[in-house]
């Protein structure tokens, strides 16, 4: 099983779009896929219109467990109406309560919950946090980190901060004598439309490329994406969404081994 966290420390950089798109195109490619919404904003949950299997049984139940949560992800993953191979572990606003979690080894609960999960691929939509319990949970649970960015100053800042957090995590694990296998997959970038790149966009892309490899192609941000997101639909089901879906499919193939 492969676990990929989609991460940026800036908001509004298409992080959730990237996470949902990688998860959905993974399912379309025949992989049994679980999307975990680890963001208190619950953007992935709202987009996919996912309801937990029971009251309070969202990802926060795993992170706040007072008993060993080994294998819980299998029970909390909800089938998606989008695709038979896609399931979602939803989030909720009270997930932010886990930010103050200081129990010993709390950051390992998400990883433990993935034991025996019936999946080939897990995609984690992370909160745009600098460290903290939510980000640490994702770092411990993941094999690879996929940075998300737009061709803008916010995109640059988000990748810069996220890379610093990943590097700090690696240093901390090294000091403990623990080898961390997390790898940097690169950056998936979006930019407005499909026309010529503006000078500002090209400059942002060049600056991000100095931070980490950009996974081609650069994904066009088209109006169809926010339109269907409001409706809880998959943009790939519409002709106008084809260029975005094809771009993310190629990104997914380069991230998922």
Query: What SS3 string covers 70-83?
Result: CCHHHHHCEECCCC
Is 102 a residue whose pLDDT tops 70? no
Q: What's the CA gap between 158 and 4, in Å, rounded?
A: 17
Mean pLDDT, to the nearest integer, of 77-102? Answer: 86
For the stretch 116-147, pLDDT in tens is 999 999 999 999 888 788 999 999 999 999 99
Mean pLDDT, to the nearest integer, of 206-223? Answer: 95
For the stretch 46-58, pLDDT in tens is 999 999 988 888 9
Judge contact between 164 and 135, C-beta under 8 A: no
* pLDDT category of residue 162 using cuts at 50, 70 and 90: very high
**pLDDT score recorded for residue 101:** 66
Whose CA is closest to 133, among 60, 219, 217, 53? 60
Token pair in block for residue 167: 């590097």
**pLDDT score recorded for residue 100:** 64
Q: How far is CA 186 from CA 7, 60, 170, in A?
A: 11, 28, 17
Q: What is the pTM of this model?
A: 0.95
Cα 238 → chain centroid: 23
Domains along the sequence of the chain with CATH: 2-255 (3.40.50.300)
* pLDDT category of residue 176 using cuts at 50, 70 and 90: confident
């Amino acid at each position: 099983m492969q676990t990929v966290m989609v991460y940026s420390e800036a908001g509004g950089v298409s992080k959730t779009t990237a996470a949902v798109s990688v998860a959905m195109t993974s399912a379309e490619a025949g992989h049994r896929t679980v999307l975990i919404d680890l963001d208190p904003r619950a953007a992935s949950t709202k987009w996919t219109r996912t309801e937990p299997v029971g009251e309070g049984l969202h990802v926060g139940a795993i992170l706040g467990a007072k008993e060993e949560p080994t294998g819980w992800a299998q029970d909390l993953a909800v089938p998606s109406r989008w695709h038979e191979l896609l399931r979602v572990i939803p989030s909720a606003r009270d997930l932010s309560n886990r930010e103050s979690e200081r129990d010993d080894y709390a950051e390992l609960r998400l990883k433990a919950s993935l034991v025996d999960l019936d999946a080939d691929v897990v995609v984690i939509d992370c909160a745009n946090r600098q460290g903290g319990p939510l980000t640490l949970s994702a770092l411990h649970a993941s094999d690879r980190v996929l940075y998300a960015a737009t061709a803008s100053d916010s995109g640059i800042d988000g990748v810069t901060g996220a890379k610093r957090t990943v590097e700090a995590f690696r240093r901390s694990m090294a000091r403990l004598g623990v080898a961390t296998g997390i790898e940097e997959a690169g950056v998936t970038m979006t930019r407005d439309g499909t026309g010529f790149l503006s000078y500002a966009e090209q400059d942002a892309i060049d600056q991000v490329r100095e931070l980490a490899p950009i996974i081609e192609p650069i994904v066009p941000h088209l109006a169809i994406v926010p339109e269907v997101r409001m409706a809880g639909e998959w943009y790939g089901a519409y002709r106008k969404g084809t260029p975005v879906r094809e771009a993310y499919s190629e990104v997914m193939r380069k991230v998922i081994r």
